[in-house]
Amino acid sequence: MPLADTMRPQRIEEVVGQRHILGEGKVLTRIMESNILPNMIFYGPSGTGKSTVAKIIAKNTDKQFFRLNATTISLSDMKEVMKEADSLLGSNGVLLFLDEIQYLNKKQQQSLLDYIETGRVTLIASTTENPYFYVYSAILSRSTVFEFKPITGDDILPVLRRGIVYAKEHLQIDASVTEAALNHIAQGCGGDVRKALNALELCLYAGAKQNNQVIVDKDLAKQFTQQSIQRFDRSGDEHYDTLSGLQKSIRGSDPDAALHYLGRLLAGGDMLSAIRRLLVIAAEDIGLAYPQAISITKACVDSALQIGLPEARIPLAEAVVLLATAPKSDSAYKGIAKAMEDIQNGKGIGYPRCVQNQHTDGEGGSLGQNYRNPHSYALHYVEQNYMPEDLIGRQYYVYGENKTEQAAKSYWKAVKTKNENR
């Protein structure tokens, strides 16, 4: 049996991390102590204890326990569990642990509802994806969601040390593991206890022997953890969380955090998503406060595409630092958002005559557009209406509180004042 399964906690006190829900007096701990189980959904990354906690709960209940994995089950498998819920064996109710519930289709999830509502089945479901997007709303409304967070490297270290002791006592593996190796495994597993124990186990079996003792140093640890530094699923929540972290860090003018999230994307091999997001950020978050940012970002992006990884990280890092430290303005973003909202609400009927393309207005005749070309006037400005009649006076753009836009605001205020005084 793999070391990670052998060392799986048997009591709630042995579970690593999750103190926000499993600590003394915390909500999930109190639920377990009450012995009254609601339907629950455990949401969080793999290797954070979701299945372990469900098994511990099952051991402390008198309900008949079933475990199904949504990636492999069929509707008939679900019906088999429901049949047990109606039998004498299920007289105290059935506890169903449904792993990876996000893979069930709507019909399969609906088949659970009747049994959940009557209490014949108590559901504990786990998912690595956001349940509010992937779980049928009727099940979600009847369940309590608990978020399991990634485990810190400091929390994983004691588990690794227990693994070394277990290997010596039960597997007859006498090992000398350096602190540097332990720290590298603990910090390099992306908050996944299972990955950390698997990496340790591989090191114990692959390490060189000296005087019948296995030697595990940092170089060996690197070989088994180099691909486990971060979780990365290009179609999963963490992918979008990383992109969101990149944009919000730049928007918040934190170049260090922004470089971190860029690094996570590049370590996952997803340079294109980073490139697309940086181009958006240059327009959305820096905008008119520093209009040259989008040109510089485009140049960095083009360089990155021509160079390719790993060197592409350098121009992309340059773009990230530039954007994070640049002045910020979302005035253009807000302006177009308001304009689009009016359009979607059916506003903006027709065109003022002066902005239309010049053409005849009827057979045998022509109406003048009454268009006044600003270039024919002093300071290249003349007052006239460009808005559709039902939107006259509507303001979409508000000058941002930054040097560039305030300079433009002052300029046009002066121009329009001179125009009014003529």
Same domain for 289 and 200: no
Same domain for 256 and 198: no
Same domain for 126 and 49: yes
| CA separation for the pair 376, 357 (Å, rounded) | 19
Tokens 């209406």 found at: 385
| CA separation for the pair 292, 325 (Å, rounded) | 13
Contacts of residue 371, Cβ cutoff 8 Å, sequence gap at least 6: 353, 354, 355, 384
Same domain for 158 and 143: no
Same domain for 296 and 204: no
- Note if the pTM is more than 0.85: no
Q: Which of 325, 349, 367 is the last residue of a domain?
A: 325
For the chain, the residue count is 422
Tokens 């002045």 found at: 327
pLDDT at 365: 44
7, part of any domain:
no
Which among 292, 278, 270, 291 has a CA at the least distance from the CA of 324? 278
SS3 at position 383:
coil
CATH number, domain of 181, equals 1.10.8.60
CATH number, domain of 383, equals 1.10.3710.10
Reading the block at residue 279, the tokens are 């181009």
How remote is the C-alpha of 342 from its chain's centroid?
31
State the maximum Cα–Cα separation within the chain, in Å, rounded to a whole number. 107
Q: What is the residue-level pLDDT of the chain in tens, covering all 422 positions?
A: 788 888 888 888 888 888 888 888 888 888 888 878 889 999 988 888 898 898 888 888 878 888 888 888 777 777 777 777 666 555 577 888 888 888 887 777 877 787 788 777 888 999 888 888 788 888 888 899 999 888 888 888 989 999 999 888 888 888 889 999 999 888 887 778 888 898 899 899 888 888 888 899 888 888 887 554 455 555 556 778 889 999 999 999 999 999 999 998 888 778 888 999 999 999 999 999 999 999 999 999 999 988 888 899 999 999 999 999 999 999 999 999 999 999 988 898 888 888 877 654 544 445 566 788 888 888 888 888 888 888 898 999 999 999 999 999 999 899 888 877 76
105, part of any domain:
yes
Same domain for 143 and 103: yes
Check residue 99 and report its DSSP letter. E
Contacts of residue 36, Cβ cutoff 8 Å, sequence gap at least 6: none
When divided into structural domains, the chain yields a total of 4
Q: Which of 147, 174, 199 is the last residue of a domain?
A: 147
Same domain for 123 and 45: yes
**Sheet with 213-216: strands ordered across:** 175-177, 213-216, 208-210
6, part of any domain:
no
110, part of any domain:
yes
SS3 at position 368:
coil
User: How many Cβ atoms from other residues are within 10 Å of residue 397's Cβ?
Assistant: 14
Give residue 167's domain range.
Answer: 153-225
Same domain for 273 and 161: no
Q: Which of 147, 174, 200 is the last residue of a domain?
A: 147
93, part of any domain:
yes
Check residue 40 and report its DSSP letter. E
Torsion of Cα atoms, 217 then 221 then 222 then 226, to 10°: -170
